[in-house]
Amino acid sequence: MEIVLAIVIGGLFGAVLERIGATDPNWIGRMLNLTNIHLMKTILVAIGTASILMFGGQMLGLVEVGNMSVKAIHVGVLLGGAILGIGWAVSGFCPGTGVCAAATGRLDAWFFVAGGLVGAGAYALTYPFWEQIGFLKGDKWTIGAIPGADYPAALPNLPFTGDMLGIGIGAAFILIAIILPRRLVGHKAPAGERGAEPAE
Amino acid sequence: MVLNWKIGGPLLGLVFFLAVLLVKPIGVSTQFVVADGILWDRQVPDIITQAADGGWTSSNAYLAKYADEIANPVNYNFIFVAAMMGGALLSSLVFGRISLRERMLPDLWRANFSAGWIGRWVIAFFGGMLVLYGARMAGGCTSGHMMSGMMQTAVSGYIFAFGAFLTAFPTARVLLKKEG
């Protein structure tokens, strides 16, 4: 059963990533050089939608709180994120979009995946060092206290639950996506779409 | 042409919601380690070994964390990434193929670098090394930390996004000056 779900959800995820342009390095590049952040608007709306549905479902008891999986905070999150950011801008791929782009026949994406295998292997070899200097130690914090989960809350004394906070933040993400202009630098039209918004 | 954000955003959000409703939040970068472990074990057969309790382990401390998945690749996480590739391929075939010119060298990189497609491949390889080294150090990537993390109000997701954009924006502003 789990394998069937992996095929269905994974297949949907790959197809949607391809349709929104996330597997196209040009759209990633235009987002990161701020000449057209269309993809960022898509991602902000996606995070907001998923957050509202998940926390709303948890409040109604329809979504299993135990399915949540929050990752730990440590120095490696910030440093690793910064290292990833450089490679992201240089290549125009991240791990998920890279393997999907490779599948769509982009040859440069296969080189990205090969480089990724080398990078992950290099990390496996150097992991004891980061572990030893304490860069990987930390707890799994959420912003508010989520009922039914035992993650420590960064803001434990809010007048509302972590669920409600999650819905509020989700709505804020969608609002930011609506407000943000597609081009953040210069006065030209957003890059790569001849002025008009993508529509289909 | 890509889907407008007003349609693409809710669709992508729905997929992330479905994942946490039915199984668990989406993540990808761990599977690079699993793939590494499988390839590694083919070259050095003793790297992944079965422990006395039946579980799997490795002489490499990092691979040991994922030894069970490396020994049994037909599991949810690994099949998920394989299915992603299938979904993306099908979508690109149905909704419009990508030109060979673009598949060899994306337009934006063609406009900004004069190194041709071999240069692009070197850049992509080097970028891949940085992305996966960083993702494994952070414990997740754009999917697992940024999207799954922030949707769950995980503080780590925000720290990761801050770190990633802190370097990605300036790097892209410097390297990708011309608009493809």
In terms of domains, do B120 and B145 share one?
yes
- Count of Cβ atoms closer than 10 Å to residue B68 Cβ: 15
**Cβ–Cβ below 8 Å for B84 and A10:** yes
User: pLDDT for A106-117, tens place per residue?
Assistant: 999 999 999 999
In terms of domains, do B116 and B171 share one?
yes
DSSP B145: I
Tokens 């060899």 appear where? B104
Domain boundaries, chain A: 1-179
Question: Considering B38, B63, B97, which residue would you say is the last residue of a domain?
Answer: B97
In terms of domains, do B86 and B24 share one?
yes
Instruction: Indicate whether A93 pLDDT > 80.
Output: yes
Q: How many domains does chain B have?
A: 2
B120 touches chain A (CB under 8 A): yes
Two structure tokens written together for A81: 């994120």
Per-residue pLDDT of chain B (180 residues; tens, 9 = 90+): 799 999 999 999 999 999 999 999 999 999 999 999 999 999 998 899 998 899 999 999 999 999 999 999 999 999 999 999 999 999 999 997 899 999 999 999 999 999 899 999 999 999 999 999 999 999 999 999 999 999 999 999 999 999 999 999 999 999 999 986
- The type of residue at A136 is L
Question: Considering B97, B128, B144, which residue would you say is the last residue of a domain?
Answer: B97
Domain that holds residue B36: 1-97
Question: Which residues, 6+ apart, have CB-to-CB distance to B155 below 8 Å?
Answer: A73, A141, A142, A143, A154
Q: How far is A190 from chain B (nearest CA, A)?
A: 10
Binning pLDDT at 50, 70 and 90, where does residue A193 land? Answer: confident
B52 touches chain A (CB under 8 A): no
Question: Considering B38, B64, B97, which residue would you say is the last residue of a domain?
Answer: B97
Binning pLDDT at 50, 70 and 90, where does residue A200 land? Answer: low
Question: Which residues, 6+ apart, have CB-to-CB distance to B17 below 8 Å?
Answer: A49, A50, A53, A54, A57
State whether ipTM is beyond 0.95: yes
In terms of domains, do B8 and B74 share one?
yes
Q: Which residues in chain B have Cβ-Cβ distances shorter than 8 Å to A173?
A: 150
How far from B147 is each of A131, B103, B154, CA to CA, in Å?
A: 25, 27, 10
In terms of domains, do B90 and B152 share one?
no
**Cβ–Cβ below 8 Å for B32 and A116:** yes
